């Protein structure tokens, strides 16, 4: 699960210079005008998509995780201009993707949240994992989930929820 590509034209922009971008967010095309240094998280939040949370702005906590062309990225460490032309998915996605829908149900059933601040990031991290590696084993799921931080639940309820969502998506039963 690594994302290396970017699609920005090579034109040099000063930090404060504004760029016009076409973003595809949750299936809708959104035109934004942002300074070149604006993070993707801030650009989304400015558009009212505040479900993408900022917990550290250092890439450590993962609360800002979204899907960029189907793979999880830290939107606090991604510049908005890097997402030009990319397909973005956030926690607000409606109707939700197959994976996000299953995860929302499982997070509720397995009580995988308390304060909810980390939830969007965990949902998107897990959605990316279950789409990219539908048959990931429990150890792999645990490893990937350790990329994000939760301070309320003790983590295990989140792991349980993601494994339950995986079973549902794979047609199995809990």
Partner 1 sequence: MTHGYIGAGVERDDRHFLDGTAQYVADVSREGQLHARIVRSPVAHARIVAIDVAEALAQPGVVTVITAADLPDVRIPIRLPMAETPDTHKFLQPPLARGVVRYVGEPVAVVVAADPYLAEDAAELVDLDLDELDVVTDITSAASTGTPLVQPEAGTNLVATVPLTFGDVDAAFARADIVLRDRLRVHRHTAVPMETRGLLAEVDQGTGVLTLWGAAKVKHFTRQALSGMLGIDPERIRVVENHVGGGFGVRGEPYPEDYLIAFLALRLGRPVKWIEDRAEHFVATNHAREQEHDFEVAATADGRLLAFRDRAWCDQGAYVRSQGILPALLPAQHLPGPYRWEAFALEVHGVLTHRTPVGTYRGPGMTEATFVRERMLNRLAHELRLDPAELRRRNLIEPAQLPWNFAPTPITYESGDFPAGLDRLLDHAGYAELRRQRDERRARGEHVGIGLAAYTEIGGIGPFEEATIVPRPDGGFVAHVGVGSLGQGVETVLAQIAADKLGVAMQDITIDHHDTDQLAHGFGSFASRATTLAGNALALAAEDLRSRAADKLGVPSADVELGGGRATAPSGRSVPLSDLGEGWGRFDKPHPSFSFGAVLSLVSIDAGTGQVRVLRHLVLHDVGRAVNPVLLRRQLTGAAAQGIGAALLEELLYDEYGQPLSTLLSDYRIPTVEELPDIEVIVEERPTPANPLGIKGGGESGMVGTPAAIANAVADALGPASGARVWRLPLTPGRVRELLRST
Contact (Cβ atoms closer than 8 angstroms) between residue 104 and residue 161? no
- Least separation in angstroms between CB 5 and partner 1: 26
Contact (Cβ atoms closer than 8 angstroms) between residue 116 and residue 79? no
Centroid of chain to Cα 109: 21
Report the residue number, 78 or 153, with the smaller CB distance to partner 1: 153
Supply φ then ψ for residue 93, to 5 degrees. -40, 125
3 state DSSP class of 154: coil
Does 131 interact with partner 1 (rule: CB under 8 A)?
no
The stretch among 5-13, 102-110, 125-133, 166-174 that binds partner 1 (CB under 8 A) is 102-110
Angle, alpha carbons 81-86-72 (nearest 5°): 95
Report the residue number, 10 or 28, with the smaller CB distance to partner 1: 28
Give the pair of three-digit tokens for residue 121.
């990031």
For the segment 152-171, give every residue that binds partner 1 (CB under 8 A).
152-159
For the segment 14-53, give every residue that binds partner 1 (CB under 8 A).
35, 37-38, 45, 49-53
Q: Footprint of partner 1 on this chain (CB under 8 A)? A: 35, 37-38, 45, 49-58, 60-61, 63, 90-92, 94, 104, 107-108, 111, 113-120, 123, 142-143, 145-159
């Amino acid at each position: 699960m690594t994302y290396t590509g970017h699609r920005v034209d090579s034109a040099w922009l000063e930090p404060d210079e504004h760029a016009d971008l076409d973003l595809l967010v949750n299936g809708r095309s959104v035109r934004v005008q942002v300074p070149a240094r604006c993070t993707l998280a801030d650009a989304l939040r400015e558009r009212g998509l505040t479900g993408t949370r900022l917990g550290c702005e250092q890439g450590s906590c993962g609360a800002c995780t979204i899907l960029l062309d189907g793979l999880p990225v830290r939107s606090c460490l991604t510049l908005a201009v890097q997402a030009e032309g990319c397909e973005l998915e956030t926690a607000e996605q409606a109707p939700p993707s197959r994976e996000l829908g299953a995860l929302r149900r499982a997070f509720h059933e397995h009580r995988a949240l308390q304060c909810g601040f980390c939830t969007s990031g965990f949902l998107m991290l897990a959605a990316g994992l279950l789409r990219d590696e539908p048959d990931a084993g429990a150890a792999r799921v645990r490893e990937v989930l350790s990329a994000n931080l939760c301070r309320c639940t003790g983590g295990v309820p989140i792991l349980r929820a993601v494994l339950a969502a995986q079973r549902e998506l794979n047609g199995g039963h809990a």
